[in-house]
Amino acid sequence: MQQQPVPRSTDLVVFGGTGDLSMRKLLPSLYLLDRDGHLDGGTRVIAVSRDGLTDADLRDKAASAVRGHSAVQVVEPDVMRRFLGRLHHVTLDVGGDRSGWTDLADLLAPDRDRVFYLAVPPMISGAICRGLSDAHLVTPESRVVMEKPLGRDLASSQAVNDEVGAVFDESRVYRIDHYLGKETVQNLLVLRFANVFLEPLWNSRWIDHVQITAAETVGVGGRRGYYDSSGAMRDMVQNHLLQLLCLTAMEPPSSYDRDAVRDEKLKVLQSLRPVQGDRVEQHTVRGQYTRGVVQGEEVLGYLDEAGGSPTSATETFVALRAEVANWRWAGVPFYLRTGKRLSHARSEIVIRFRDVPHTIFPGAGTPPGSGSLVIRLQPDEGIHLTMLAKTPGAGALRLRPVPLELSFADTFATRSPEAYERLLMDVLAADSTLFMRRDEVEAAWRWVDPIIRAWDDHDVAPEPYPSGSAGPAGAHRLIGRTGRTWHEEETPR
């Protein structure tokens, strides 16, 4: 995407500033932005929490977090000193007395932009925004960043958005989805709309089906309590996977403009055929991991993880078939799946093209996996096109799939920014193109809610699958009913 200018001096106020998200993602990403020259010299980061830390305490924690981050291979002392000098801590209990708000007001500078990052559970987002308003800390240019999950369903999502919207205009609300910050996701737009040869093929005439996968080898770990109230459908499908579906299926926007892009994504969500009634059982699969072996290590099952109900029916895996009911995609199934404790960690979009209408090579065979475009989001970001070629040698003519590879790491000499780096840079530059608009979020909930209700109403228990496997057998039956297979099954080894 276009090169971002260095943003104006900004006070970035992070509520939940000493929590897991801040230490694992936000502060290391801000360090990398500082190192690469993307932070204005006057920009400060103000961590707000109830921890009672001094600035020095916060800087010690931040230094450890930065040094432990995988993308920070070498810590540059001068950069670290400059970055730590930007950090301040304010002790504030949102539901407590007003002294913390006064301390925050005293620290904020009147001549800087203000960005309020809510790295907190969504149920307290409204209280924080009301506190900011009551303390007169919101300027017309102030922006607020919200993390998922934005509610548990449409009604709770609307309630959160109403509370935040009472203080911040919609144009100032940045709903973050870190998948949209990945370089390969952004390159999907370039691939589709900057290369003329692909657009004539990007429709139901030439595409047989689409697969979108987000697979993890990790379990829920210390998030069991949260995950019991969420599950894979709310945690991954409602936001990440549906956003990837939108970018894959959307019509060309009139420009690379925040509302032009988001308008087209919204149209896709509104075109999704409802999955209701008997279609829920036919078109969806839920799973839950059990004990097994992942990458040579024995691991616990979901019900054995600490912090949750021993009889939980929460799904850790979802596979489903979606259909975009419009002229471009009529009849093309979109298969979505996501799960934890699977055999391999990867996120990818697979475009499976149709076979040729008539082969002139009888007996040569059409090996599985031919005619596929794979957009790898992680690991090893890149684009992989498989096409058929003749196997060298005399004798009977045989066809074999051969790959055309674009590895971003090999092709581009510069380091690709991680997702949170890119999205934080966009927030500071007031560019909301890669963030979700309220109507997008609510359209996604309108499609997801009936599926979750049907599971609950009919007591659809998740199908167990061993950790380290490819997921529950139902996922393979789901795609296999039409003679199709998941990408890893059709790829030659």
Q: Where in the sequence numbering do the catalytic residues fall?
A: 240
SS (H, E, C) 159-211: HHHHHHHCCCCHHHEEECCHHHHCHHHHHHHHHHHCCCCCHHHCCCCCEEEEE
DSSP at 272: B
Distances (CA, A) of 339 to 185, 260, 308: 20, 32, 18
Residues 6+ apart with CB under 8 A from 472: 285, 287, 317, 319, 462, 463, 464, 465
Token pair belonging to 336: 């979505």
SS3 17: coil
The residue with tokens 């900011």 is 132
Across the chain, which distance is largest between two alpha carbons, in Å?
Answer: 85
Question: Cα angle vertex 167, ends 162, 171, to 5°?
Answer: 85
> Residue 135 half-sphere exposure, CB side, CA atoms within 13 Å?
21
> Which residue shows structure tokens 């499609």?
447
**CB–CB of 460/285 below 8 Å?**
no
Q: Tokens 């009849």 — which residue? A: 331
**Pair 180, 437: CB distance under 8 Å:** no
